[in-house]
Chains A and B, each alone.
Chain A
Amino acid sequence: MSESANTIQFFTGFRFNDLGFLAEAAGNTLLISVISISIGSVLGCLFGWALHVSVLARYILGSVLDIFRSVPLIIQLLLFFNFFPILGLPLEPFAAGCIVLIFYTSALVAQVARGGIEAVPDSMRRASRSLGMSYLQDMRYVVWPIGARAMLPAWTGVALGVLKDSALVSVLGYLELLRASQILITRTQEPFIILAIVGAFYFALSYPIGKLSAKLEQRWQYD
């Protein structure tokens, strides 16, 4: 039949090249997660310190950060993404996703950091101050080493959570792992295989970090 020569092929099977496409998308997932986790953690530690030090901050900053933890991330992303065009400054999906994830991370890390600071016994800090250390020295040489160890498991949990939650930025149109999977599924019509591969990518990103942190935690216990 001459018709068959003109038939357009809508769907094509899963090809080896597609793994490269998925790997690139995994790189994007990693990029947005690393940026938001690193900046968010620094901010979160500052917020956590503020929550620990000042009662006023506990009321004002605490309740603001509480909003980030009580509203679904997807709603935060959509709100933020739709808010900037109102101001006349449309944002790229990547930028909007980064900003929301940074604040989301910092809200979660603030709580963890505050717990870490409070895990250092008061008597220890008084001892360091009475040995002549300044407040900053006390923070740097006493509170940080002990607090960081205390907060490591919870911080890893937050970091892995953000790595996985970065999947939601796909809703804004950022080409990360999950969005790449949607594109491939539309083309190949093989959702099961592709979702399994994408799951394996996420697993490969997340599982080693969790194991590493568990190992570190165990080692630090006997120091």
Chain B
Amino acid sequence: MLDASLNSDIQLKLFISLASLLSSGTHMDYTFHWRPVIKALPDLFSAALVTLEAAVLSMLLGIIFGLVLALMRLHGSRPLSLFATVWIELARNTPALLQLFFFGFGLGAFGWHLTPFTIVLCGLAFNNAGYLAENFRGGFQAIPAPQYKAARSLGMSATQTYTRIIIPQVFRLVYYPMTNQMVWAVLMSSLGMLVGFRELSGETQFLASNTFRLFEFFLAAAVFYYLLVKLILLAAHLLSRRLFTY
């Protein structure tokens, strides 16, 4: 791991040197060397697990915040609903990379130096929450209002009504968009390499600049990402069969 106290200056320099490294140099006679890649496969594999971990955690945080934001926007008082609207619109209308930089360099201006992992986690959770909140809002609006009244008149409390009647149905409605968001979370976590996080892309970048086999390593990373996405889609499909059949 990179030093946790890596401050925003060094990260900036990393970003710039990365850009200049990648934009310089032409190789006329290029021979492919795959041996370094094959040697590094275990490293890439464990880095893929880090990617998956970051994506899953950010997704869980995103679901929790997204639910709260959706309810705030639908039923909250004016300031609460304004807060939720601002969060959602900011998350949806600015690039994810900018959001990551904001958590990385932007907060650094106030002396808050987050670790690369926290930067990625906060950035992705912020982004996921914004997108998921809109999905959840659609889901809540699709549940017929009489269901809520029926549950209440059967003696359920408001919390019980939400946790047992409304939210399970909402999850079912937004299951497909949620799967999509999970895939996006995996793809977006690749931006972690620009804030010094050693997930799949960061590790690839590190190994590639150590061995100068840029193309080979990034191709390997692409294959890893492809497999990871397919795995998630398969898992989501199997899970949906188990969850949604009666």
A interface vs B, CB < 8 Å?
A: 67, 70-76, 78-79, 81-83, 85-86, 88, 90, 93, 160, 164-165, 167-168, 170-173, 178-179, 181-182, 185-186, 190-193, 195-196, 198-199, 202-203, 206-207, 210
Is B45 located at the chain interface by the 8 A CB criterion? no
Q: Please report whether the interface of chain B is mostly helix, strand, loop or mixed according to DSSP.
A: helix
A207 touches B89 (CB 8 A): yes
Which one of B26-34, B35-43, B155-163 is at the A interface? B26-34
Complex contact A82–B214 (CB within 8 A)? yes
A202 contact from B8, B18, B94, B226, Cβ within 8 A? B94
Does chain A have a CB within 8 A of B140? no
- Given known pairs A75-B218, A164-B96, the reply for A81 and B22 (CB within 8 Å) is yes
Per-position 1/0 for B85-105, Cβ under 8 A of A: 000011011111110011001
Q: A86-B27, A164-B96, A192-B109 are in contact. Are A203 and B90 (CB under 8 A)?
A: yes
Contact A164 B95, beta carbon cutoff 8 Å: yes
B222 to chain A, nearest CB (A): 5
- Of A85, A172, A192, A203, which contacts B19 at CB under 8 A? A172
Complex Cα–Cα for A67 and B226 (A):
7
Question: Which of B12, B109, B183, B230 is close to A190, meaning CB atoms less than 8 Å apart?
Answer: B109
Q: What is the size category of the interface that chain B forms with chain A?
A: 35 or more
Given contacts A83-B215, A86-B27, contact A167 B95 (CB under 8 A): yes
Chain B residues near A172 (CB-CB < 8 A): 19, 22-23
A59–B225 alpha-carbon span in the complex (Å): 21
Q: Give Cα A186 to B194, complex, Å.
A: 15
- Chain B nearest CB from A170 CB (Å) reads 7
Asked if A88 and B226 sit within 8 Å, CB to CB, the answer is no
Contact A191/B97 with A82-B214, A86-B215 known, Cβ cut-off 8 Å: no
> Are B225 and A195 neighbours in the complex by a CB distance under 8 Å?
no
Closest CB in chain A relative to B108 CB, distance in Å: 6
Q: Which residues of A contact B8 (CB under 8 A)?
A: 191
Contact of B60 with A by CB under 8 A? no
Q: How far is the CB of B188 from chain A (nearest CB, A)?
A: 8
Which of chain B's residues has its CB closest to A190's CB?
A: B109
Interface pair B94/A73, CB less than 8 Å apart:
no
**A-B contact number at CB 8 A:** 134
Sampled A-B contacts (24; CB under 8 Å): A70-B225, A75-B218, A75-B221, A82-B214, A85-B25, A85-B26, A88-B26, A90-B26, A160-B93, A170-B19, A171-B18, A171-B22, A173-B20, A173-B22, A178-B95, A181-B101, A182-B12, A191-B101, A192-B107, A192-B109, A195-B101, A202-B95, A203-B90, A203-B94
Contacts known (A74-B190, A79-B215, A173-B20); A191 close to B222, Cβ less than 8 A: no
- Report the nearest A residue to B219, measured CB to CB: A79
Report which residue of A73, A82, A170, A202 has the largest number of chain B beta carbons within 10 angstroms of its beta carbon.
Answer: A82
Interface residues in B133-182 (C-beta closer than 8 Å to A) = none
Compute how far the CA of A73 lies from the CA of B218 in the bound complex, rounded to whole angstroms: 12
B232 CB to closest chain A CB, in angstroms? 10
A88 to B26, CA, bound (A): 7
Task: A94 to B150: give the CA distance in the assembly, Å.
Answer: 59
Contact partners of A82 in chain B: CB under 8 A: 22, 214-215, 218
8 A Cβ contacts from B53-103 to A: 89-90, 92-98, 101-102
Given contacts A71-B187, A182-B15, 11 further A-B contacts (CB under 8 A): A67-B226, A70-B230, A72-B187, A72-B225, A74-B201, A76-B222, A82-B214, A83-B215, A171-B18, A178-B101, A203-B90
